[in-house]
Structure 1
Amino acid sequence: MTRDAASLRRTGRVALMLAATVLLASLVGAGGIFVQHPERAPALFGDVLQDVTGFNPHPVTLLRPPAQPLSALAQIGRRIFYDRSLSASGRQSCASCHSPARSFGPPDGQLLQPGGMTMVAQGLRPPPSLAYLYRQEPFGIGPAVDDDAPPPDPAAQPPAPAGPRAPKQASVAAGPAMVPHGGLFWDGRADTLMDQAAGPLLNPNEMANPDTATVVNKLLRAGYGEALRPLFGAAIVRNPPLLFAEAMSAVSRYQIEDPAFHRFDSRYDRWLEGKTRLSRQEMRGLRLFNDPAKGNCAACHISRPTADGLPPLFTDSEYEALAVPRNPAVPANRDPHFVDLGLCGPLRTDLARQTDYCGMFLTPTLRNSARRGVYFHNGRYRSLRQVLDFYNWRDVAPQRVYPHGVPDDLPRRYWANIDRGDAPFGRRRGDTPPLTDVEIAAIIAFLGTLDDGASPPP
């Protein structure tokens, strides 16, 4: 190709991009081309324009937590977070299971993390990520709330780019549903980050301290009493319950104040702000992620900013019974009579009689999910492809999911709790699966844009 021909070709590409941008702007003025108003524009034409540009036609300003130096209390919390001397083995800290290098999730691809007195014990569930918990509310059960509803005056701000949250049939099928939401851990048994920080210290399969008095003695030996004295007075070293509580408060403040726990600097965040573009495959994955008739992922993993500009957390913080297959690699599952019922126990005991919630687990954020390497409450799947295959095949070909073609990790008496109404679920056995291999690959490509640490645009 001659230099003149190459130059002409580049000029043609630029002209196409400019024309697409002009057309895109005109469509935006007419009401938008995203899922939010699908009746206002031909979907195919909109898809072509998005594929050409890859930019968000409705850029927004995201309100991130302010970046500022850690408070004195948060600095003490950071020390505690990395302090292995507070464990019974002397070899485990909070960071051992919540690695900063892995977005405060499991440090490797292991199903369960070792712990206990001799670092050979294993718990029941993979540790969830500690990232993006600063907006998590305490556990509660109440009417389903559309926390992604558009603002009262749509003309006051541009429409959100990712489309509205699809209604969840599992929450509305029987009228005004009482929906579990909020809380920490897979079963929501901790209401605050303070409670969450205390849990592993006393768990026999983790840091394995027998009681809070033992932890307090270790805190004093490590100098935390003196560190906390200027903040809470000299009496704190003579008040073990107060010392323990304030030490956990320090860990909580560290998680709230340190931007590393809620970076909001993924490529998707930059795309929302109009600062970068997504590839054609990633754009297609985003549309499938939001499409109520296809992936419908955004029904639970909300992808749009809040009405007041907070970045999306990619979770509605609600609970679902998905009937994930039993994982024989979980040591507790060697007992054929054992079953993990989530909200109904065994780790949580106060809802044991609330059988409508048996088998339900917290919906986690999908931020950094491409890096996690262990998925669902029992770690049954080890890749995003396996996760999406589960959603795709569970109802239409259950024999591909369960050894005997029926849910095998939830007693039959609780099968009514399983979400069977929300796409991609809800199809009949033998139906065509909702997603093709190409579409699954596109959704996985989009999920990769949710990883923290995207390079700033040039």
Structure 2
Amino acid sequence: MNSSSNVVPPLTAHGSQNAGAPRRYRLVLWSALAVLLMMMTCAVYAFAYPERMPKAVGEMLENEFGVNPHPVHLMRPQNAPLSLLAQIGKQIFYDPSLSASGTQSCASCHSPQHAYGPPNALAVQLGGEHLTLEGYRPPPSLTYLYRQANFSIGPDPVDMDTTPVSLTDTAQQAQGVARAQKNAGVAPAAPAMVPQGGLFWDGRADTLQAQAMGPLFNPVEMANTSEAEVAQKLLRGGYAEKLKKLFGPAMLHSPVMLVDEAMSAVSRYQIEDASFHEFNSKYDEWLEGKARLSPAELRGLRLFNNQDKANCAGCHLSQPGRDGLPPLFTDTQYEALGVPRNPALAQNKDAKFFDMGVCGPYRHDLATQTQYCGMFLTPTLRNVSTRQTFFHNGVYRDLKQVMDFYNLRETSPEKIYPRDAAGKVEKYNDIPPKYAANIDVADAPFDRKFGDRPAMSEQDIDDIIAFLKTLTDGYKN
């Protein structure tokens, strides 16, 4: 008889036949608890000292918690009381009596409640003696201009003592030079000899003082006709006596000098007042490790920086400089994007009129440099979600329309441009055909061809817009 089936397993030292199994269970349980405790400890430690986290842990924290695994310290402008000159400039900035209409100030078109941009959704603002004339272009925001360099073409000279080369000569040298491709993180002053710096959409002013002077004498803005006319208004406003304390009495006998010093006061106000460069958006807080991005915002940031997808950072630089200066979200260069014509503008009622940016019609020194026709300054994207009109002709009214333009311009142009009487799509219809070669077709997302799949999905676009909203100043954690 086989009795092996009746053999009883030997007892353990504790008299239990299955003592090994509970021990294994306890080991697994304790191991799981240890791993969980370690993860919690890493998370707490990372929030306190995120710069010390290993790469893998940093990626986990970014993906799971939306924190910046590599925080930085941003070097913001010093916030100090306004100088006397800046205080005078502030008064002038808000004074409507300096306009021909008596009702329009600098702040009318550069509203402090709208990031010093337009306060409404008009494509262009109304001005002139009776506020009935359309402006030429939408007023850009006045924020974040304190670091804007003078207008130039190509890289800065190595030897600053060298006699400057004229813009015309530099532009001539640039002809035939291949345009550098825009990839995320590429710094300004590329070897492509493209224009950069300057103020206004076409860079025709080099200083904030010159920029402030422009609207005073523009017939469709504040519409003054001479320095003498503005000087009389400054005298009536009491500004001359205030400026005399700083610059002496000679200015009282020179309208040109008086107006010049008054506009220097406006420029000092823009430079000194912190509201023009706050750097306190959610993105700034995230850069310093003080805020967390939502999953959509984080996806949008990655798409923004992805040089094969949205490639926004190719022109709108998103990373802090090595010196800790916060990113301005512009490379301050000029691009010909080929945005569609805005038929609502009064100047566009003339089918032969074209606003060609750097080569005219509102600046004249580069009119013969046709390789720049259609190029306009790349604006900062800080506070972009507060704007209600976009591009140099105000053709678009929301960020979704803007993103659709970038995404579909080449792959589905029929969704961007109108058709002529014969049904043909009028692609690049706001630039003369002979200058169409200036338009960027090399950089993503413009590097797609007709019929290709667009670079971005609808979800991608929603995520990028979510990220753009993190660039609005005044974030409260």
Query: Which AA in structure 2 matches 1:353?
Result: T
Question: How far apart, in 2, do the equivalents of 1:195 and 1:47 lie?
Answer: 47
The whole-number CA distance in structure 2 between the counterparts of 1:420 and 1:355 is: 18
SS in 2 for 1:143: coil
Using a 3 Å threshold, how does the CA distance of structure 1 residues 419 and 287 change in structure 2: closer, same or farther? same
Residue 223 (structure 1) shift = 0.8
Per the TM alignment, residue 237 of structure 1 is displaced from its structure 2 partner at its CA by 1.1
Q: Which residue pairs with 1:241 in the alignment?
A: 256
Equivalent in the alignment of 2:458: 437
Aligned residue for 2:154, secondary structure, equals strand
Distance 1:77 1:25, change over 3 A: closer
Partner of 1:87: 99
Partner residue in 2 for 1:138: 150
TM-score normalized by the length of structure 1: 0.85
Question: Residue in 1 aligned with 2:434?
Answer: 413
Could you tell me how far apart the structure 2 residues matched to 1:78 and 1:378 are?
Answer: 29
Contact 1:123 1:206 in 2 (8 A): yes
Equivalent residue pairs, number: 412
Within a 5 Å distance, the mapping from 1:239-278 to structure 2 comes to 239-278=254-293
Tell me the residue number matched to 1:428: 449
Aligned to 1:120: 132
- Cα distance between partner residues in 1 of 2:134 and 2:66: 45
Q: Which residue of 2 aligns with 1:3?
A: none
Letter in 2 for 1:61: H
Who wins on radius of gyration, i.e. which is larger? Answer: 2
The answer for unaligned runs of 5 or more in structure 2 is 1-34, 158-182, 420-424
Q: 2:470 aligns with which of 433, 449, 457?
A: 449
Task: Give the root-mean-square deviation of aligned CA atoms.
Answer: 2.5
Is 1:319 aligned with 2:338? no
Q: CA deviation at 1:144?
A: 8.7
- Paired residue type of 2:471: L
For 1:37, the equivalent position in structure 2 comes to none
In structure 1, C-alpha distance between the alignment counterparts of 2:47 and 2:465, rounded to whole Å: 26
The one-letter amino acid paired with 1:180 is: P
Amino acid at match of 1:298: A
Contact (CA 8 Å) 1:17, 1:53: kept in 2 or not? no
Residue 42 of structure 1: aligned partner: none
Name the CA distance, whole Å, in 1 between partners of 2:276 and 2:156.
28
Note if 1:340 corresponds to 2:352: no
Task: Map 1:9-408 onto structure 2 (within 5 A).
Answer: 18=41, 32=55, 49-143=61-155, 165-167=184-186, 176-404=191-419, 405=425, 406-408=427-429
8 Å CA contact 1:326–1:380 kept in 2: the answer is yes
- In structure 2, do the counterparts of structure 1 residues 301 and 397 end up closer, same or farther at CA, with 3 Å as the change threshold? same
From the superposition, tell whether residues 308 and 225 of structure 1 become closer, same or farther in structure 2 (CA, over 3 Å): same
In the TM superposition, what is the alpha-carbon distance from 1:28 to its structure 2 partner? Answer: 7.7
CA distance in 2, matches of 1:412, 1:238: 51
Given the superposition, is the C-alpha separation of residues 342 and 14 from structure 1 closer, same or farther in structure 2, using an over 3 Å criterion? Answer: farther
Q: Against the structure 1 CA distance between its residues 195 and 389, is the aligned structure 2 distance closer, same or farther, given a 3 Å change threshold? A: same
Residue 244 of structure 2 aligns to a residue in which SS?
Answer: helix
For residues 284 and 325 of structure 1, the distance between their equivalents in structure 2, rounded to whole angstroms, comes to 29
Structure 1 residue runs of 4 or more that deviate by more than 4 Å after TM superposition: 12-33, 45-49
Query: What SS does structure 2 have at the residue aligned with 1:301?
Result: coil
Q: Relative to structure 2, which stretch is displaced further, 342-351 or 252-261?
A: 342-351
| Kept after mapping to 2: 8 A contact 1:102/1:371 | yes
Asked if 2 retains the 8 angstrom alpha-carbon contact of 1:139 and 1:180, the reply is yes
Q: Which amino acid aligns with 2:236?
A: R
Q: Which runs of 5+ in 1 are unaligned?
A: 1-11, 34-44, 146-163
